[in-house]
Amino acid sequence: MPKLLVIGSMNIDEIVITSNIPNPGQTVFGKEYKKVSGGKGANQAIAAARLGGEVDFIGCVGDDSDGDFLLENFGRNNVNHKMVLKKENVLTGKAYITVCNGENQIIVISGANEHVTKEIIDIEAILNSDMVLVQLEVPLKTIEYVVDLCYENKIPIILNPAPATKLSEDLIRKVTYLTPNESEAELIFGTDDYESLVSKYPKQLIITLGSKGSIFKDENAIHKIDTIPVKVVDTTGAGDTFNGALAVSLLNNETLLDAVKFATLAATIKTTKLGAQEGMPTMEGVKNYIWKD
């Protein structure tokens, strides 16, 4: 089975649901509290594994109970975490999320994710992988190092540039697939003319458009992939589902067009369920949805 290597972040998401956002100096009561696994890297690894991918992961957690919590969750979801390092005297990454009437306020503490440096990257793991998937919640220098390794060794790599930052043209040209959402594409390229952007980077740039689907260009034409009508419950993790699904589909030798269609569908199905990782579909779930639709 083709092997996917994901390199990225692992977080504990501490979520408080409330009817009122407190003003400075004010105390309010919350409705509900949840502690769940998160981090864009971990989310994308689990999305791929749930869709049948063979997934290895490189990252860092703290030597604490939160780190154990995240590793146990990887085990339950069939993600190989033997290359995840536990860093002493370092906290596991955390995101503190306040949810009020569908809107989020988030404070992220990178913690152990800052220790995902090039020194911990297992070069053999990259060379033995059929595809690599990375994001930007770990140091950019590490991502640049991984991209260079993949480029030099002709290993396909997907870069999901989130959270968005300015990227060099050299880095962009070296990645096999770049998958920003609308706001990330605008920040990186300075324009919201998506058709012009995908025409400049054919078969490479894939822009996700939320409820409007996705857009990319292959050797034949610009393709706009629509979503299907669903009752949206929670969009958290939809972009991560897209990236994990895209990787799995490409590793299954699907065309880029079919892979983007599959990823768009999987991301749409994710929005029908609550929770980032908890709501991610299995391959059977996607097939059942297609059949029912």
Q: Of 63, 234, 240, 258, which is the active-site residue? A: 240
Distance, CA of 121 to CA of 117 (rounded, Å)? 7
Residues 6+ away with beta carbon under 8 Å from 265: 227, 228, 245, 286, 289, 290
Spell out the long-range contacts of 283-290 with Cβ–Cβ below 8 A and sequence spacing 24 or more. 283/50, 283/51, 283/52, 286/51, 286/262, 289/265, 290/265
Within 10 Å of residue 191's Cβ, how many Cβ atoms?
A: 10
Residues 6+ away with beta carbon under 8 Å from 23: none
Is 192 a catalytic site residue?
Answer: no
The residue type found at 268 is T
Known catalytic residues are 240
